[in-house]
A and B are shown apart, each in its own frame.
Chain A
Amino acid sequence: MTITITGMRKRFGPTEVLRGIDLTVEKGELVALLGPSGSGKTTLLKIIAGLDWPDMGGLDVDGVNWLNLPAQDRRIGFVFQHYALFPHMKVRDNIAFGLTVRPRSQRPGRGVIAARVDELLHLLQIAHLGDRYPAQLSGGQRQRVALGRALAIEPTVLLLDEPFGALDAAIRRDLRNWLREVHGATGSTSIFVTHDQEEAFELADRVVIMGQGQIEQIGSADQIHDRPATPFVANFMGATVEIPVTMRAGRIEAAGIDATRLERRVLPDGPATLFLRPDDITPIADTQGCWTIETVASTGATLRIALKDGAGNRVETVLPRRAPEAAGLTPGTRTHLRPEAGSVFPGPRPATTPAPAAQAPAKENIR
């Protein structure tokens, strides 16, 4: 099933949650919608499921306009964030639900349904739990049952809302691998929503980054990591350090910054903003440097160093404690900064980037 979304818009009262979404998901693909909360990713998923409706836009699946179809007729498997298992039904009945509610003429026989449920219980590795109620299961087990219930109807599209959000880290990693296998085995088109980058990149063929109701970038882990398309993506991907710089003939220039390790950029001359990850910045001891080390904290493996320049700008860097550059970095040392990698966007610091924690002091400095 190829899903084509065009010009989709949706507002809840005064808030625009979707501001023109265009996206195509190919047959058999596993796509992640990644973004902070409030980016509209769950709303988009619910619209595809038929549990919500857009104000404008199109939703075509293999040439059929799904906006004319009620949720019941879309034959989707939807896995809810908190599983939404029917509490009064045993695991077996939960999984069979989608088959037993079919109109009599399309309903498989009792034996066929039971066989299908058994098959799923095995696939999901929960064969021994068939006669339990959901209240008697752990989170990971409930997640498997929820997936089994969604798969029982042989869905054309599998949609998962924060599928591992409520689970422990270890179980999460387990289920992730296993979901990948299930996706491969069933060959269905799958879309899942997450705010966990690692999860998105590890699982998905393609990751769609959403911010404030728009698609910011679509790509693989490496593309998004190395070439963020917008300041929003750069910031979301961890480049929380923003340094105002000047572009001159494709080179980045700023006081106290050694930009030799950064490649040239095709950008017009003038003011720009450099986005850096704390662990991509190396402070180099330099008596002429305009950055002064304020504090150094060790986590054993890494050093977390806070620096400040004459104008009051603050920067935090992380570097391996045993790196040769780390020697002699003590509070009070003057340094310059050498970014190892980073991205530049034209114009002064954009106002729309998230991560308020990283911005709070910077905003004061601008005034």
Chain B
Amino acid sequence: MIGAAAPIRARRVLPGFTLSLGTTLLYLVLVVLIPVLALILKGAEIGPERFWQIVTSPRTLAAFRITLTAAAIATVFNAVYGVLMAWVLVRYEFPGKRILDALMDVPFALPTAVAGLSLTALFSANGWFGQYLDAAGIQVVYTIWGIVLAMTFTSIPFVVRTVQPVLEDLDTTLEQAAMTLGARPWTIFARVVFPAILPAFLAGSTVAFARSLGEFGAVVFIAGNLPMKTEIASLLAYIRLEEYDYIGAAAIALVLLVFALVLLLVSNLLQIWAARYREVK
């Protein structure tokens, strides 16, 4: 007689799915979700009118504008540089390539405050670079360009590190095929190579932008932090906190959080669009 058979499930190679998923979820909730939730709740306490008043005050608006502008410029720099660097690291062999590859991680490893200090020292009016720029009438330190510089430094690796593996996996026969069909180098890059790295490029650029928006340590040293001129949003939140104005700090932080979430959403949508041809059905 055949009894009601228990459903047969495929055995996994490594057991412990429940345990590992549970651990990771718990960790995520404790470290990421609860702080974010607390921030949102704190913001909700303020009430819409008060919230609107805080975030549209001239000083806060200026801080957001400066942060966004500087982060956008820094991201454009890093996007172009990142693709170029990834290309060099993947496509060419040269002495010192491994060292260059390793150097790409320095901005990740270096404490951002150290980066801010060194940049300030280099670009201040009597620093190595600053003395010449100063003579030419260009001031970097204590201007938005200082902020851009600090943001660029700390977010360099993102685009390089996301584009590099995709470029490594890119089938070079695609470029050869384009060549035999008469395409010139620039056309090959624009129509064959770039579309292939576009999803990774978008992902890397968004993360670089998000990181620049939130950069604090490196920026505060070089920016001079003049209200309305070179004061970034996260610093303003910090200042509010110092003044025991928790509500003001939470409101600014909440806006930064919304920026970050919108960015992530847009980035994911763009990536889905850019990779639309990969879905097989």
Contact = CB atoms under 8 A, between A and B. Distances in A.
Interface stretch (A3-11, A80-88, A217-225, A347-355): A80-88
B40 to A, nearest CB: 39
Given A78-B177, A82-B173, A136-B280, 19 more contacts: A50-B179, A71-B179, A71-B180, A77-B180, A78-B180, A84-B171, A84-B173, A84-B177, A85-B177, A88-B195, A88-B277, A97-B181, A101-B184, A101-B191, A102-B182, A133-B277, A135-B279, A136-B281, A153-B181
B183 A97 contact: yes
Contact of A135 (B171, B178, B181, B280): B280
Given A72-B183, A84-B171, A97 B278 contact: no
B57 to A, nearest CB: 46
Interface residues of B, number: 22
A51 to B, nearest CB: 5
A309 B28 CA distance: 76
Q: Which of B174, B182, B183 has the most CB of A within 10 A?
A: B182
B196 A153 contact: no
Contacts of A244: none
A84 B188 CA distance: 14
A85 to B, nearest CB: 8
B187 A101 contact: yes
Contacts of A133: 277
Interface residues of A, number: 32
Interface of A: 49-51, 70-78, 80, 82, 84-90, 97-98, 101-102, 133-136, 149-150, 153
B192 interface: yes
> Per DSSP, are chain B's interface residues mostly helix, strand or loop, or mixed?
helix
Given A51-B179, A78-B177, A80-B177, A72 B184 contact: yes
User: What secondary structure prevails in chain A residues at the interface with B?
Assistant: loop
Contact of A87 (B179, B180, B187, B277): B277
B56 interface: no
Contacts of B53: none
Contact of B277 (A49, A76, A135): A135
A101 B281 contact: no
B176 interface: yes
Given A87-B278, A135-B278, A75 B177 contact: no
Contacts of B278: 87, 135
Given A101-B191, A133-B277, A135-B278, A84 B176 contact: yes
Contacts of A73: 182
B163 to A, nearest CB: 16
Contacts of A78: 176-177, 180
A72 B196 contact: no
A177 B179 CA distance: 28
Given A87-B277, A88-B196, A153 B174 contact: no
Contacts of B179: 50-51, 70-72
A103 to B, nearest CB: 8
Contacts of B279: 135
B183 A87 contact: no
Nearest to A152: B181
B16 to A, nearest CB: 34
Interface in B145-176: 171, 173-174, 176
A98 B182 contact: yes
The 5 closest A-B pairs by CB, nearest first: A98-B181, A84-B173, A133-B277, A78-B180, A84-B177
Contact of B192 (A51, A82, A86): A86
Contacts of A86: 174, 177-178, 191-192, 195
A75 B182 contact: yes
